[in-house]
Structure 1
Amino acid sequence: MCEEKLNIGDRLREERIRLGYTQQDGAKLADVGYTTYMAYEAGRSYPNAESLNLLHLNGFDVLYVVTGVRNEAALSNEDSSLLAALNQTDERGRATAIAALRGALDAYHRFA
């Protein structure tokens, strides 16, 4: 028996849900209108390279979305969500978050 293969729209929806985003979030992250994003997930049209890159920067496994093959280096849901949040901060917020994480990891390793 042959399994039904997901199309690009199905995989895009799967990635959005994996990351905990709404369709409105997906549209905003891809820098397209809500109706356009809905058409992507419905398989009526396809995201361009710019939109795919923006989605990638927010944790989407774009290799999987386009090809159906998971990126072996793909991060966990939690890691992807944290990196997406970090990518949405300004430089000051990013520097603060990285310094705090490094400090916490250093403390952990000193007492582990």
Structure 2
Amino acid sequence: MNSVGERLKGERVRLGYSVRKFADAAGVATSTQTRYESNENVPGSDYYNRISTLGAEIFWIMRGEKEDDEVRDKRAAMYSPDVRALIDDYQLCPEAVQTALRTLAKHTADFRRQAIENFNKGDKE
């Protein structure tokens, strides 16, 4: 399996999905999934995030190399269980909900940054 599309198809088959069921679970049209597998289109990061929740080996699909256990364990250890659960939940949300959550997080962080900046300015005056 030399191409991304071939490896993507191999992962779908390994996981036991038909094209239609995999496309549905990944949030794309069946025709889009077929184009990905035939290398006519290139999937985006949102797609890869969604299929990772199905058990697809993204490192293998994108690089053609298996990720060793040590690298996988280090990557998993980067996040606390709460953060990992948050990421997993986020990835299962529809695209519109993901967009709303990103917007909410950005506005909340911006508000918090501004509050900290204003507080720190008060200390200097």
TM-score interval, normalised by the smaller of the two chains: 0.5 to 0.7
**TM-score between both structures, scaled by the size of structure 1:** 0.59
**Hey, what does 1:32 align to over in structure 2?**
28
Q: Does 1:41 align with 2:37?
A: yes
Q: Which shifted more, 64-73 or 39-48? A: 64-73
Aligned residue-pair number: 71
1:70 aligns with 2:66: yes
- Distance in 2 of aligned mates of 1:26 and 1:7: 19
Runs of 4+ with deviation above 6 angstroms: none
User: 1 CA distance for matches of 2:68 and 2:14?
Assistant: 16
Structure 2 Cα separation of the partners of residues 57 and 71 of structure 1: 16
**Separation in structure 2 between the aligned mates of residue 29 and residue 68 of structure 1, nearest angstrom:** 23
Aligned counterpart, 2:2: 6
Question: For residues 19 and 72 of structure 1, what CA distance do their matches in structure 2 show?
Answer: 19
Q: Taking structure 2 as the reference length, what is the TM-score of the superposition?
A: 0.53
Two-structure CA RMSD over aligned residues (Å): 1.7
Highest Rg: 1 or 2? Answer: 2
Gapped regions of structure 2 (runs ≥ 5): 73-88, 90-125
